[in-house]
Amino acid sequence: MSNSSKSLNLKNDPQASHSNRRQIFHVACLVAACLNVTSCYDPKDKPIPPLKPAAGKDETSEVLTATAITPGTVTRMPLGTLYQLHQSKAALIFDVRPLIFYKMGHIDGAISFPKADFDKSIDKQETLIKNAIKNQIPVVLYCTDLACPDAITVATRLSERGHSVSVLQGGYEAWKAATE
């Protein structure tokens, strides 16, 4: 039997087809895991600036308007606060994870702004950020979870450009766990 007829028989074999799908699934999961590890990697010699609590905000705050924050600062955004802002569509939210993770799931209404694409897309995103700040709408960034430094890295780069932004505490994993 020739090699071509063997491969033809494998295509018609349901067990082989199932095995191939499993292999493809496992490879896709491995690639996604590798992308997550490399996207959330930041050299240890770069200090991460301490985050300040959002000005005048706490988990129980009922008034959810943006407060005057010093230009160029990075603050923490508690999950409960972002949830309330999100419900009233009163926040500009950026997902800084790689695009593949954004496509797998993201906070409804969030805009993809991967850390790796910062230099390519800053002009477009900066226009949105300036408009939000002008209209006293908080700008919130998030990554995968507490261990992922991408949101802090992007927030720091934006603060260096004079923009005040917040980083969601717990990232997408906390959001997903709280809203399921």
What is the CATH code for 52-179? 3.40.250.10
Contact assessment for residue 157 and residue 132, using Cβ atoms and an 8 Å cutoff:
no
User: Which residue reads 């590798």 in tokens?
Assistant: 34
Q: Which pTM does this prediction carry?
A: 0.67
Contact assessment for residue 76 and residue 52, using Cβ atoms and an 8 Å cutoff:
yes
How much is the pLDDT for 61? 38
> How far is Cα 73 from Cα 69, in angstroms, rounded to an integer?
7
> How far is Cα 40 from Cα 163, in angstroms, rounded to an integer?
22
* Strands, E assignment, 8-164: 52-53, 74-77, 92-95, 111-112, 139-142
Return averaged pLDDT per consecutive 10 residues of the chain, 180 residues in all.
Answer: 44 57 59 55 46 46 44 91 95 97 96 96 95 95 94 95 95 94
The residue ranges of every structural domain in the chain are 3-39, 52-179
